[in-house]
Structure 1
Amino acid sequence: MDEAHLRSLTPSVLTVLVRRGADFAAAEDAVQDALVEAVRTGALAAPVPNPSPAGPPVRDAKGWLITVAWRKFLDANRADTARRRREDRTEREPAPGPAPAADDTLQLYFLCAHPSLTPASAVALTLRAVGGLTTRQIAAAYLVPEATMAQRISRAKRTVSHVRFDRPGDVATVLRVLYLVFNEGYSGDVDLAAEAIRLTRQLAARVDHPEAAGLLALMLLHHARRAARTAPDGSLVPLAEQDRGRWDTALIAEGVAVLQTALARDRLGEYQAQAAIAALHADAPSTEETDWTQIVEWYDELARLTDNPVVRLNRAVAVGEADGPRAGLAALAELDAALPRRTAAAAYLHERAGDRATAARLYAEAAHRAPNLAERDHLTRRAARLNARPDR
């Protein structure tokens, strides 16, 4: 069984244990123990061995994991009288058959977004328990030490350990979780983009919240460009240089339709505004033909909604396209010099303005601060190209 399929089964198995009465922390431990046993014994290959030595092989991997994880949980709680009673009841149940086909993953998202958790803890817990990210990956996303993130996740698990699995969390927090999962899958070392889109589709269908549709539209529009974002050698391809013939027009059309329906409700939110910007990029035949003036207007709306410095950084670049690079540099000058990717944006605008020497120096400086290898290599190549031909 490949890693992607294993990732898709784990949340459902965890959900079943929680529904049966296991506290969250103990349930996650039991699921991890079951996965270890499955890998150690090769049980994830089809056909799957029956957890009962006397039973015939079965082909339901999810059912196998549920049964083994539940028994791991019971074994860990034998000393407790209440656990003994639950074990006795469970052992009188019929032998396990195929696991239910229902996907409870979204419900697990809501549990992890429980009102008793802070938004940061809810996001971290969901990325760990449902998204399958390691503590190291989550810590990198938050720019905190791994030990700090491990403590945060442990506290969050303790907080929801005895919460009944019948009270949904905050929709806005779930949306933020899904957005972070998508971004990790889109640009990180774990591919979760398709899973994030699937879950967002479910959420948009189940809740009366225009931002759920806005987030779905944003994901679809970004995902449509995925094939064109990297060259065959793995290097980054900037939006202006992408082969737009490789964009997925069906995803773009779906994203635009979803966005239009959401905007018609006149309850604008940040995901709808971001999706509107992505739609304008997707609609343009080229960078030069992009409606940059309207994009600046959408960034103004987005800045009003979020007051996010990264939004203002992107707005400055858009101003440089709409009104000229000098106007973009003036907008950029109002932002904190320590803002991530500000130096790279300044390099691009100086290059557009014809100041190649300054652009080359800033590209090299930005490469030093790049958050990942692919971005560092891209910025280094830009600097090298300008240094090789300073007058052209």
Structure 2
Amino acid sequence: MDMRNVKLSIDEYGNIRVSGISNYRIMSRYRTLSSALDSLPSEGGAVIVEPGTWNIDDTPIELSSNQSIIGFGSSSILHNTDSTYTEKHTISAVGESGSELSGINIKGIKLTGVAGGGHGIHFEYVDEFTIDNVFIDGIGDSGIYLSNCDNGMVSSFDVRDVNSGYGIELSDSDGNRFINGLVDGNGISLSNSVGNIFSSVISKNCSDDGWILKSGSNYNVINGCRATGNTGYGIKIESGALYNLIIAGVNALLGNTAGTVSDSGSSTEWIRGTYDRAIVAWDETEVDYTDTSGDTYSEEKTHRITTSSSYGYNVSTIYIIAEIKVDAGTGTLGVFIDGGANPSLTLTTTSTSYELKSGSFDVSWSDDTIHTVSVKLKNSGAGNTTSNRVYECYVS
């Protein structure tokens, strides 16, 4: 289900209008939300939660593959009344290793609870999910908990005043994206989790660290985020966390009692500047290039950057984040500016699995024009293939 096509409305007679979904149920027509989910066909569908407060007491909400819960935003409230059972989560989805769930969506919902209860959203072995426009307030344990969950998208979230645990907690979860969100009061924790990206996320007023990257949390990106008012550090990277990338403005990590950062990890890359970076391109299309002659670039992706000295749209530095891999040899991703013959930046790998790479270069653009950025691939050996999946371009 493409959640971008889903639209809800209430007409002048109080009727729910739904478009973009073929199979759906209206929650108020069923005894519980769980019974509404159970009534969906085997191919899945969605339960629409009308505005109002709906108590979740005796029957937990457990999602299967291709099932969605969709509401009207903060006015559609699911309240977990249980204060005695920490394993009773408000919304849960649990698969198994080798039998992961997928295609699960939660959108436009507010979750509330009481001390002693479980997680707001609890996912185990769930891949390719979306959580969007979700408000979580006063839940018993971690607001969003992901264990062994890969390639999900969490966007436009607001997590506040969780009674225990973390606002967001990842364990053994890889390749997830968190965009445009707030965690107020409990921080963000990653344990043994690889290749996750946080963009435009604020973590504040936590009793410990704003972010904590524990051992085994490698190749994660914290970009254009803020951590402030935390009792611990803004960002804490523990021993055994490797090759993480932090892109932050110099004022983005101030006001934390213990200090700005604590970095006991290895090979952390810090990119600091006066302002937070602005994203200008984001492409997750997977492309493969088989270099038939060896060391010959082939253009795969392109985008444009507009500058205007008249309006102060100047660019001094370009930052690139990309995932690349090869089947053999050495693969190179080159970034070319304005049709130039030579790359302004090269990122290389010999890994046969996707590897997160990053780099930056100065351009000092203060003109009134449209600049072209081209991404090209090549391989050191004839007949070898270089692949690119994630590509992101930021400017300052």
On whether the aligned pair clears a TM of 0.5, the verdict is no
- TM-score, normalised with respect to structure 1: 0.29
Query: Which structure shows the higher helix fraction?
Result: 1
Query: Which structure shows the higher strand fraction?
Result: 2
Between structure 1 and structure 2, the one with the greater Rg is 1
